[in-house]
Amino acid sequence: MTMKLHQLRAFVAVAEQGTIHGAARALFLSQPAVTKAIRELESDVGVTLLARNTRGIVVTKLGLSLLERARLIVNELERAETQMAYLRDGQEGKVAVGVTPLAGMTLLPTAYAVFRDEHPEVNVTFYEHPSAQLVETLRSGELDFAVAAVMDEPEPALIRSLVLAEFPAVFAVRKGGKLATAKKLSDLREAEWMHFDTTLQQAEFIRNLFIKQDLDPPKRITLCTSQSLFYGIASTVDVVVSWSIHALLTGLSQQFTALNFIEAPQSLRLHLMQREDGILTRPAERLAQEIIQSARSLSR
């Protein structure tokens, strides 16, 4: 059995696009060429990788086991090709970075400004996702590295992580709202609480705040993974949210009031994460270095 790169590229493209037509367009190939590559790959591995249903083409259960490795192989090879072109011909490099919102509010702007002055020709793409999704995209090779805020240490499997900075957090409400006059936790029993922790640890923390004071937990604890929507709701609706103290001191102080009488939520740690066996391209390594330097400057 010999799998060929063009077959794996076709397989990944069909899986991502959901149609032969979409894959052909993404790869700048004809539809018969993509179809042939898929059939050859299925023949080589001896299993059916793709199937059709009413929604289009889907990856079979056996196909999913190959897709993860195929995507990694394709992404790593493209990264190697980009690196060689960058070193050989001075062509534009590419960097793909995953972020969570706190990274964008703290370390990244300064680091990116320095990097962009030094490397105006490099094409940089930022992807904002929840930390759990960033870990998965790192493992698949879609990202060079990620700068993510997490409450717990990232899962160690295949991921190397460096703690950049720690940001204490505090619960807060919008200024001038009906919750801004609260003086004790019992004043917030009927309030809606909102968080963005997909692990739901913060929701459990909020419930325990009330239980420890023999109070009924809030009936409405809302998960919102969109940072823009989270901010939009928090600034217009009377909800209790948690912000990093850094955010309140620098950009949100005119809009939110900290509720210092409530036990502080767990601090957020910004991690620089990459695949354990990943090798950064020259531009990606340079941007990562600037982010580390930005973290050191912030800590000072």
Check for a shared fold between 5-83 and 92-164+269-299.
no
Q: How far apart are CA 154 and CA 51, in angstroms?
A: 35
Q: What are the residue ranges of helices labelled H in the chain?
A: 5-17, 20-27, 31-45, 61-89, 101-105, 108-118, 131-139, 201-211, 227-236, 245-250, 282-299
Poorest-confidence range of 176-190, 200-214, 218-232? 218-232
CA distance 68 to 225: 25
pLDDT digits (tens, 9 = 90+) for 1-42: 678 888 888 888 888 888 888 888 888 888 888 898 889 888
Domain locations along the chain: 5-83, 92-164+269-299, 169-265
Q: How confident is the model at residue 83 (pLDDT cuts 50, 70, 90)?
A: low
Q: How confident is the model at residue 152 (pLDDT cuts 50, 70, 90)?
A: low
Please state the length of the chain: 300
Give the tens place of pLDDT for each residue, 44-75: 888 888 888 877 788 888 888 888 888 878 77
pTM of the model: 0.65
pLDDT of residue 72: 78
Domain 5-83 sits in CATH 1.10.101.10: no
Does residue 137 carry a pLDDT above 90? no
Fold of 169-265: D-Maltodextrin-Binding Protein; domain 2 (3.40.190)
Burial environment of residue 89 by CB neighbours within 10 A (0 to 12, 13 to 18, 19 or more): exposed
Q: Taking the CB of residue 87, how many other CB atoms lie within 10 A of it?
A: 12
Q: What letter does residue 187 receive in the DSSP assignment?
A: G
Question: Is CATH 3.40.50.40 correct for 92-164+269-299?
Answer: no
Residue 186 is given by DSSP the state G
